[in-house]
Amino acid sequence: MRIAAVLHDRCQNRKCNKECVKFCPLMRTGVECITFNEKGKPVISESLCHGCGICVNKCQFGSIKIIGLADELKSEIVHQYGENSFRLYRLPIPKKGFITGILGPNGIGKTTAIKILSGTEIPNLGKFDDPPSKEIVLEHFAGTELCDHLKKVYSGSLKIAMKPQYVDKLPQSVSGVVRDLLGRVEERMSVYEAAELFGLTEVLDRELSKLSGGELQRLAIAATVMRDADVYFFDEPTSYLDIYQRVKIARIIKSLGADKQVVVIEHDLAILDYLADNVSVVYGSEGAYGVFTLARQVRTAINVYLDGYLPEENIRFRDRPIEFETSPPRTEWNTPDLLEFDSVEKDLGEFRLTTGKGAVKIGESVGIVGPNATGKTTFVKMLAGIIKPDRGVLGTAVKVSYKPQYISADADGTVRDVLHAKAYDTVNSGFFEGEVLNPLGIKQLMEKDVKTLSGGELQRVAIAMCLSAEADIYLFDEPSAYLDSNQRMNAAKTIRRMMEKTGRSGMIVDHDIYFLDMVSDSMMVFGGEPGHRGIGEGPFDMREGMNRFLSAVDITFRRDADTCRPRINKPDSRLDREQKMKGEYYYS
């Protein structure tokens, strides 16, 4: 069995000379396996395609994928969006008293799966041209746990609560103030109890359109948790949140798992490891197909995902495993200072930032951590020259390349046009292609219009644009936002590798511990009173920086015996108590 997947959003028909059709081997018999529909997009006959791959090689825009799949999957198809379109195989099964995690790349069917499990979408079993009824779907899955679950969902005997993925679109669908929205779902707790628990007390009377991304995320989670449901679905609950808020939200969701069914899609591996009991890994090809594996114990599932190999199915879905360092980076730097700053202050009215004296060495990568609204972005903007400090001295002689926190897609033209306009010679060099464009998956985006990019695609392009500039220091503000776990690891390794091979310095603001572990040599720690007063200290070496940071969060990490990845210790466990007594919160 083969999939013929046409990626319509990449088909540039205005330039297409239809060579994929001209060279079709079936032309000799008077039959074409490729035709063009009424919109001018290519369509491949799935019954005629035998996977020769000629059309893939002839299409200069990368619009066509021919993907071979095992015949066994044919009977396990759950949903297909159309001819030559994305298809989903298998589904995870929610279990009472367990938190089921879902781990996999973007565009591979995770959100589609929870829509089906929640009953908001009926699976068509691959019959997109003649969708089956609920009764036929139940008959197809008869005798399975999935059938029992869907039967209860369709009959209404299971009450569902779902936290959507894109919380930034919440103000477009719901109007009013925070208090009004929470008042509509006042079941398990009162509005005031929820506001106190989720840190929303100060914004209860604020319009939803005036909320930040983090406030919208906490509001969406609060509205979900307040409902008295049997099954809870959380689609990426930690985006926009800092590490303090992520741990707190994880603890709240974890408390639901005692007597409810909970399903969580999460890309922060440290939080997923801490939160979930079992995890279903999803593999496949973005926009083409996705396959759910059987749920594994959370540690095993994450290790399998990092290794990129499924032993029971004999499938490798990643070329090489993702690896972590077993020891902290070096503490002594023999290189001279590149950038110095001395007691910098900035008053923004309601918020005031103060930093101590510090310096960034040549070739050093500095991770910047701390709660939201404590001045991290303000500090980076001062380094980039976007805003000026009120007091103190910043080294301004260095050349800076800056990737902002919030990225807009207002540029005209394709990704290729934008990158060439930024740094034509660098982008077309073999070094940049091998070290940046290929690892970040930019090559597949070159012909796409910038305005049509998703959040994750736009983030990867922004990282590449920042790295393409000739600079002494590269500033990245939340580069892991919108990226799935695999893309985060690739982005971290790309930034780290570029700093090492070019001898340049970097400063990276982020909330993902795995990302910071991979990319950082040292750590700058921010604290204070969020929204009112920020205090920045460092850079410190990684050991001291992580200890300062994690002691404030009150969590400790251990290293996995097989992969050396960081894992959050259970609160008040033996390891947690021992490491806190030693003052070793991260490197034990």
Q: Give 529-569 pLDDT, tens digit per residue.
A: 988 899 999 899 888 999 999 998 889 999 898 888 889 99
For residue 71, the model assigns a pLDDT of: 67
Q: Quick one: which of 96, 83, 102 has its CA closest to 39? A: 83
Give the C-alpha distances (Å, rounded to integers) separating 151 from 70, 134, 234, 427.
29, 9, 21, 54
pLDDT digits (tens, 9 = 90+) for 51-81: 777 777 777 777 777 777 776 677 899 999 8
- Contacts of 65 by beta carbon, 8 Å cutoff, 6+ apart: 3, 4, 5, 6, 7, 56, 285, 288
Distance CA 16, CA 445 (A): 17
Q: Name the token pair of 67.
A: 């993907």
User: What percent of the chain has pLDDT above 90?
Assistant: 57
The rounded distance, in Å, linking the Cα atoms of 162 and 41 is 35
Any idea what DSSP says for residue 74? Answer: G
Q: Render pLDDT for 288-334 as a digit per residue (tens, 0 to 9).
A: 899 999 999 999 999 999 999 998 888 888 888 888 876 666 656 67
Helix orientation angle between 243-256 and 213-225, rounded to the nearest 10 degrees = 10
Local confidence band at 381 (pLDDT 50, 70, 90 cut-offs): very high
- Position 56: which residue type? V
- Strand, helix or coil at 583? coil
Does 12 have pLDDT greater than 60? Answer: no
Measure Cα distances from 344 to 189, 356, 379, 385 in Å. 44, 7, 9, 13
pLDDT of residue 34: 75
Produce one character per residue of 355-388: b if its CB has 16 or more CB atoms within 10 Å, e if not.
beebbbbbbbbbbbbbbbbbbbbbbbbbbbeeee
Q: Verify cis geometry, omega within 30 degrees of 0, for the bond prior to 539.
A: yes
pLDDT score of 133 more than 80:
yes
Residue 231 has pLDDT above 80, yes or no: yes
DSSP letter string, 7-50: -GGG--TTT---HHHHT-GGGGGT--SEEE-TTS-EEE-TTT--
What is the number of alpha carbons within 13 Å of residue 87 lying toward its C-beta? 24
Contact assessment for residue 255 and residue 86, using Cβ atoms and an 8 Å cutoff = no
The tokens 């005798």 sit on which residue? Answer: 143
Per-range mean pLDDT, top range of 163-177, 354-368, 400-414:
354-368
pLDDT confidence of residue 411: 79
Contacting residues for 356 by C-beta, under 8 A, at least 6 apart = 343, 536, 537, 538
Q: Does the pLDDT at position 393 exceed 80? A: no
Closest to 419 in 3D by CA, of 391, 379, 389, 453 = 453
> In whole numbers, what is the pLDDT of the chain averaged over residues?
88
- If one compares 276 and 84, the residue with the highest pLDDT of the two is 276
pLDDT surpassing 90 at residue 19: no
Q: CA angle at residue 486 from 85 to 431, to 5 degrees?
A: 100
pTM over 0.85: yes
In this prediction, residue 99 has a pLDDT band, given cuts at 50, 70 and 90, of very high
Query: In b/e form, how buried is each residue of 312-351, taking b as 16+ CB within 10 angstroms?
Result: eeeeebeeeebeeeeebbeeebeeeebbebeebebeeeeb
* The token pair that represents 78 in the structure block: 């759950």
Question: What is the set of domains in the chain, with CATH numbers?
Answer: 2-68 (3.30.70.20), 75-316 (3.40.50.300), 337-553 (3.40.50.300), 558-588 (no CATH)
